[in-house]
Amino acid sequence: MDKKIIGRKERISLPELGLKLIWAKVDTGAYTSSVHAENIREEVREGKKVLVFEALLPGHKGFTGRQVVFENYREKKVKNSFGQAEVRYLIETIMELAGEKFTAEITLTDRSSMKNAILLGRKILRNRFLVDVSGINLAKAYRK
């Protein structure tokens, strides 16, 4: 399988989160991908434990204000950008990038102090994409 070339910043879609063509930073130093989420909480709905959150920040042009509910999730210990271990919720969701649609593991965290609301780590990139760090939005060539 030929790998597609993407840049250091790309537009991705996360349809289950209601996000379409949102900018994401590609970070080959990070193993896990993450998305900014707020008001993350576990609730019991119809007798099932679910994870409820809002993706992206109010004021961000991609913000929908919509609550997202996931039944399938887990907790994962990850090292943050400062090297400190923290426990985050991890979801599996559909991601669209460079004309490809695949299931991706993404952790939820507060990225409000970061420039980019979404970070793509190397686990998602492995065996799918090559990163040209001199380019931005190179995946648009593959979009249908």
pLDDT tens, residue by residue, 2-57: 899 999 999 999 999 888 899 999 999 999 999 999 899 999 999 999 999 988 65
- Position 55 scores a pLDDT of 81
CA distance 70 to 93: 9
- Position 2 scores a pLDDT of 83
pTM of the complete model beyond 0.85: yes
CATH class of 4-141: mainly beta
Residue 144 · residue 54 · CB < 8 Å: no
Across the range 87-100, mean pLDDT stands at: 97
- Position 1 scores a pLDDT of 62
Across the range 131-136, mean pLDDT stands at: 97
